[in-house]
Structure 1
């Protein structure tokens, strides 16, 4: 009986003193809510401002040495989704990206989006295709720099991030036309 009481007390103390969860927030987009036209692509029949939203993250896991940020639409009618933004080697002292951020200015590497251009490519779901989800993810990495360059595919970066991230935080906004 005493062992169970001690164990319960120890678990309660551990839970109450554990650090806060890794979290991604934005002043521009809200979880589960439709994004503004500001974040729509300019091209492919879309007429938005093609700006990336502001993103901030807190409570990165212990051991984090750099970050990656991705934006992905799993609802795109491609069979493989649509990569809107892929950046990595973001310095560990970075905890936010401003609206319209060029990650290269931070010393990060940005990959070609599925639009065929480097940097952010906004939402542009086909008209009448329904609501699409846009998953903005910040990845906490245990290395200062990934040994990849800007010629790797989104699949290679995704594989690398999923195989080594020590934490990730996600914010999913929506959009339709």
Structure 2
């Protein structure tokens, strides 16, 4: 494997974000709240607005985009809390440190943007994701919500995991509980 680099997309690179987001939705349709068909219908203005609304970080292997994560303010939440979301890595590079590099870049971006915490929602039944987030330093909280694909017959929850960026690693904002 060549060196994977991670970089933030500029606002003018909305098409790069669109392409990797649609690739993620097509490859892992159950991992996201939206579908490829829904987002393929979005016009250019909406994609441009999305790139402006949150930081979009991409992992690259040479010129090829192989992963993505977004980081931004929690909607209607505590303005000290940032959220990592939309994490995806190309299947052929999973388990090779790409997700770690993306999450690390997202945490660094949140720190640069002066957030106090990074929130990351993880499926409670997804042991691999929970272990990954825990190994990075995210801690589970009491925050729970139904997953987007949860049904009455097959209920699935996500838990909020938190990574403190400040001096008090034991602090957890009440807005995520």
In the superposition, the TM-score normalised over structure 2's length comes to 0.27
The structure that is helix-richer by fraction is 2
Higher relative contact order (CA 8 A, sep 6+): 1
**Scaled by the length of structure 1, what TM-score is found?**
0.27
